[in-house]
């Protein structure tokens, strides 16, 4: 019997590949734009007609191609970007498979004009459906100008499958934006049917986002930055109050390419939880840089999924970087962080010598040292008010190094010197609000909500790290309960102990409380237990993780109530501890903790 296997002719192979690489005009746009980026262009023009169905043209001022390369580039697996399989491990360009131009040329009429700076004249080449039509020298500027006409002209089934111009244009805009977002230094112009859709200069990343998304984004975005040995994270997130009702402005880029990754997306959603309503979506543009060896991009050419080696760590790093940014920047909602300092600094008296502000941190302080706890405890026992003064947060950093930065940033935003001079820190109003001031304005803090936030973060951290919390010892107090309530307390007894309670079961539906977490306000123990029970019942069905749920419950139950007069050191301690929080602006339930009346606003009021 005759042998059956034969090699497919090239144009058939190319058309099959085209099915993978070019599904619609937007995919061709993506490939052509990426080639221009890979060629080192600083200016790229995209011109389309009829949503790319009739024409897609990309003009760049990049490296251009030699006469031979201009012809070679349409061959399958023709690429200048890799030579050996090893190069696959360190890809720095967007393309590398050498399939895009061959695929596009198999399903369209293509004209390529290209010229390198070293050449006198350029080369013009025409190819239709993989068939070479003509080649000639041309006089053109340095760079490449490629026209793709009548996409799928020879594959009617594919052409008929294309969607309306409106929809296809939407896909193209999306691809255009992805490329533009990740290459802010490149200038882009984008015409659709002879009308300019976008004309954006080369700029920094923030300006690029603002230029593409609209001026109002200047106020909405806050930077994210975190460098680690595993991944560098950079970019911007939208402030929580501008979260969108539809998914959309959520972009991850890894080593200069747009990617999707549901797991990492979750890291961000998680960081925003409690801050935005559950039916809203946070905005983010995050740029990850990793060692190319630690990712796997050698997968389907049009797929945007990508595998990371150490995805768990990357998750944690992104989560913490985003949280930090929320904490750092969210308290001054109307200020542009880049101009914040210069805007609000008072004029410096002539001849005054300026020294760097110093933040005092005791490097030897170990919050977990036994001695520390005992001191704390004896202080609280000797404190006859029953409400232990809140300690110096700079000494009480039980957070990570990262968080120290947050603390210092926010504290440095304070008018500390002025405070010292006038001996003014913060005052309590109506036994309910605390009024203080920052560089940007006057801040009003709700004491109950603030303390809820402080306690929540402290409990959560300790529950997650399994660290025992300092305790405020009591004479044992018996608390009789109903059998249902006693059961509920017993169910949570381990959590409660981890959070700093010392509770034992006395039998007969009675518990004995020996200690409560230090820093918590209340010696009316039965009332505390009552409140915990109430909140346990209410929070029972939230989707929170168990630690978050218990931390929330305890924070609510133990926070300083309204109508409680605070001593000056308690007020100051509360404010400082609040600023040491990851997310000082809202309670775990999303109620606001503070508001700022900006000095700009005040100035306007009195004009
Ligand atoms: P890949 O980008 O995967 O290498 P392509 O089919 O997209 O494959 O392109 C093939 C080759 O053609 C590229 O490797 C590059 O050398 C050359 N090329 C394509 N577009 C351009 C351009 N705009 N400027 C300069 N060279 C280009
Ligand atoms: Mg390419």
Tokens of 487: 């059961």
Single out the residue of 184, 253, 210 nearest to residue 44, CA to CA. Answer: 184
How many C-beta atoms surround the C-beta of residue 588 within 10 A? 25
Q: Which residue has the higher pLDDT, 592 or 466?
A: 592
Residues whose CB is less than 8 angstroms from the CB of residue 334 and which lie 6 or more positions away in sequence, other chains included: 219, 598, 600
**Which tokens is 536 given?**
């346990």
Per the structure block, which two tokens stand in for 502? 């010392």
E-state strands within 150-289:
187-192, 195-200, 221-227, 232-238, 250-254, 257-259, 284-289
State how beta strands 195-200 and 187-192 pair: antiparallel
What digits encode the pLDDT tens for the residues 102-135? Answer: 999 999 999 999 999 999 999 999 999 999 999 9
Distance 63 CA to ligand 2 centre (A): 14
Could you give the CA distance from residue 562 to residue 433 in angstroms, rounded to a whole number? Answer: 8
Measuring from each residue's beta carbon to the nearest atom of ligand 1, which residues come in under 6 Å? 31, 35-36, 38-39, 60, 62-65, 73, 78-81, 95-102, 144
pLDDT tens digits for 333-356? 333 333 333 233 334 444 545 444
Looking at 91-100, 216-225, 239-248, 283-292, which range is the least confident one? 91-100
What is the C-alpha separation between 419 and 415, in angstroms, rounded? 6
What is d(CA 295, CA 310) in angstroms, rounded to the nearest whole number?
9
CA nearest to 260, candidates 174, 188, 183: 174
Under a CB-based contact definition with an 8 Å cutoff, are residues 77 and 98 in contact? yes
Calpha distance 485→458 (Å, rounded): 26
User: What does the pLDDT read at residue 463?
Assistant: 80
Per-residue pLDDT at 550 exceeds 70: yes
Per-residue pLDDT at 209 exceeds 60 = yes
Tell me whether strands 187-192 and 43-49 are parallel, antiparallel or unpaired.
parallel
Ligand 2 centroid distance, CA of 193 (Å): 25
* Closest approach atom of ligand 1 to CA 99: 6
- Ligand showing the shortest atom-to-Cα distance for residue 98: 1
Mean pLDDT across the chain: 79
- In DSSP notation, 469-490 reads PPEEEEEEEEEE--HHHHHHHH
> Is pLDDT above 80 for 331?
no
Q: Sheet containing 195-200: which strands, arranged edge to edge?
A: 131-138, 122-128, 109-115, 143-149, 55-60, 43-49, 187-192, 195-200
Over pLDDT 70: what percentage of the chain?
Answer: 77
Quick one: pLDDT at residue 424? 55
User: Rounded to an integer, what distance in angstroms lies between the CA atom of residue 570 and that of residue 447?
Assistant: 11
What is the predicted pLDDT for the residue at 58?
Answer: 98
CA dist 146 and 32 (Å) reads 8
Rounded Cα distance, 230 and 261, in Å: 17
- The structure tokens 């349409």 sit at 74
What would the two tokens of residue 292 be?
């190319």
pLDDT in tens, 457-484: 888 888 877 776 667 777 888 888 888 8
Q: Are 560 and 386 in contact (CB under 8 A)?
A: no
pTM assigned to the model: 0.59
Atom index in ligand 1 nearest the CA of residue 62 equals 24
Contact 385, 560 (CB under 8 A): no
d(CA 495, CA 553): 11
User: Which atom of ligand 1 sits closest to the CA of residue 101?
Assistant: 6
566 versus 381: the higher-pLDDT residue is 566
Distances in whole angstroms, Cα of residue 335 to Cα of each of 254, 257, 535 = 30, 31, 37
Which amino acid residue places its CA nearest to atom 23 of ligand 1?
Answer: 36
Ligand found nearest the CA of 100:
1
What is the mean predicted confidence (pLDDT) over 62-87? 85
Query: How open is the CA angle 530-532-537, to the nearest 5 degrees?
Result: 100
Number of other CB atoms surrounding residue 410 within 10 Å: 21
Note the pLDDT of residue 404.
37
Q: Nearest bound ligand to CA 79?
A: 1
What is the Cα–Cα distance from 59 to 145, expressed in whole angstroms? Answer: 4
> Could you identify the residue written with the tokens 């006859």?
384
Ligand 1, from 95, 113, 143: best to mutate by most atoms within 8 Å of Cβ?
95
Per-state percent for the chain, helix, strand, coil, to nearest 5: 40, 25, 40
Residues 279, 245: contact at Cβ < 8 Å?
A: yes
Q: What is the 3-state secondary structure (H, E, C) of 133-163?
A: EEEEEECCCCEEEEEEECCCCCCHHHHHHCC
Pick the residue whose CA is nearest to atom 14 on ligand 1: 79
Between strands 427-429 and 433-437, the pairing is antiparallel
Q: How many CA atoms lie within 13 A of 58 on its CB side?
A: 27
Query: For position 301, what pLDDT does the model report?
Result: 53
pLDDT, average across residues 277-282:
84
Query: Number of H helices and number of E strands within the chain?
Result: 21, 22
Place of tokens 């058309």: 15
**How many C-beta atoms surround the C-beta of residue 56 within 10 A?**
27
Task: Give the Å distance between the CA of 458 and the centre of ligand 2.
Answer: 51
pLDDT beyond 50 at 379: no
- Measured in degrees and rounded to the nearest 5, phi and psi for residue 334 equal -105, 10
| 62 touches 40 (CB < 8 A) | yes
CA distance 543 to 554: 17
Q: Which two structure tokens, joined as six digits, stand for 169?
A: 């244009």
The DSSP secondary structure of 415-439, one letter per residue, reads: -HHHHHHHT---EEETTTEEEEEBS
Q: What is the mean pLDDT of residues 158-163?
A: 89
pLDDT of residue 352: 46
Q: How confident is the model at residue 91 (pLDDT cuts 50, 70, 90)?
A: low
How does residue 544 score in pLDDT terms, banded at 50, 70 and 90? Answer: low
């Amino acid at each position: 019997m005759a042998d059956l296997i034969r090699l497919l002719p090239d144009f058939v192979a190319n058309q099959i590949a085209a099915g993978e690489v070019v599904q619609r005009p937007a995919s061709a746009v993506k490939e052509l734009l990426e080639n221009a980026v890979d060629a080192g262009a600083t200016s790229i023009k995209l011109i389309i007609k009829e949503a790319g169905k009739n024409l897609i043209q990309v003009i760049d001022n990049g490296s251009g191609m030699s006469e031979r390369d201009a012809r070679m580039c349409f061959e399958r697996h023709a690429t200048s970007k890799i030579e050996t399989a090893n190069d696959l491990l360190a890809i720095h360009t967007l393309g590398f498979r050498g399939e895009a131009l061959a695929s596009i040329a198999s399903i369209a009429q293509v004209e390529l004009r290209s010229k390198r700076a070293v050449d006198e004249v350029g080369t013009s080449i025409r190819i239709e459906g993989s068939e070479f039509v003509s080649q000639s020298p041309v006089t053109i500027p340095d760079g490449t100008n490629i026209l793709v006409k009548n996409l799928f002209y020879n594959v009617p089934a594919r052409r008929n499958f294309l969607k309306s111009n409106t929809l296809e244009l939407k896909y193209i805009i999306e691809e255009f934006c992805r490329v533009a977002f990740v290459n802010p230094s490149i200038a882009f112009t984008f015409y659709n049917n002879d009308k300019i859709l976008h004309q954006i200069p080369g700029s920094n990343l923030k300006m690029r986002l603002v230029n593409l998304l609209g001026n109002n984004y200047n106020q909405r975005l806050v930077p994210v930055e975190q460098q680690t040995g595993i991944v560098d994270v950079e970019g911007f997130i939208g402030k929580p109050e501008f979260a969108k009702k539809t998914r959309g402005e959520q972009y991850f880029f890894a080593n200069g390419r747009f990617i999707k990754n549901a797991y990492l997306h979750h890291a961000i959603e998680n960081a925003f939880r409690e801050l935005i309503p559950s039916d809203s979506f946070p905005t983010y543009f995050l740029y990850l840089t990793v060692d190319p060896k630690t990712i796997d991009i050698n997968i389907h050419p049009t797929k945007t999924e990508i595998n990371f080696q150490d995805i768990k760590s990357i998750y944690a790093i992104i989560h913490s970087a985003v949280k930090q940014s929320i904490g750092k920047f969210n308290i001054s909602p109307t200020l542009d962080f880049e101009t914040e300092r210069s805007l609000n600094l008072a004029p410096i008296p002539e001849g005054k010598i300026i020294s760097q502000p110093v933040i005092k941190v005791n490097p030897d302080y170990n919050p977990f040292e036994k001695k520390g706890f005992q001191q704390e405890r004896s202080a609280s026992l000797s404190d006859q008010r029953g409400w232990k003064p809140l300690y110096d947060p700079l000494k009480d950093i039980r957070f990570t190094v990262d968080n120290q930065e947050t603390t210092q940033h926010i504290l440095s935003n304070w008018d500390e010197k002025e405070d010292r001079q006038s001996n003014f820190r913060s005052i309590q109003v109506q036994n309910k609000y605390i009024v203080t001031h920052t560089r940007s304005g006057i801040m009003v803090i709700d004491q109950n909500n603030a303390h809820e936030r402080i306690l929540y973060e402290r409990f959560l951290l300790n529950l997650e790290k399994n660290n025992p919390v300092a305790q405020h010892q009591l004479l044992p107090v018996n608390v009789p309960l109903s059998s249902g309530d006693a059961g509920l307390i017993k169910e949570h007894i381990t959590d409660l102990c981890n959070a700093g309670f010392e509770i034992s079961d006395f039998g007969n539906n009675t518990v004995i409380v020996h200690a409560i977490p230090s820093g918590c306000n209340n010696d009316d123990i039965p009332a505390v237990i009552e409140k915990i029970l109430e909140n346990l019942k209410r929070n029972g069905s939230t989707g929170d993780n168990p630690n978050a749920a218990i931390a929330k419950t305890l924070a609510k139950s133990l926070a300083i109530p309204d109508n409680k007069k605070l001593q000056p050191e308690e007020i100051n301690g509360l404010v400082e501890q609040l600023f040491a929080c990851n997310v000082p602006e809202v309670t775990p339930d999303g109620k606001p903790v503070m508001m700022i009346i900006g000095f700009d606003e005040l100035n306007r009021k009195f004009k």
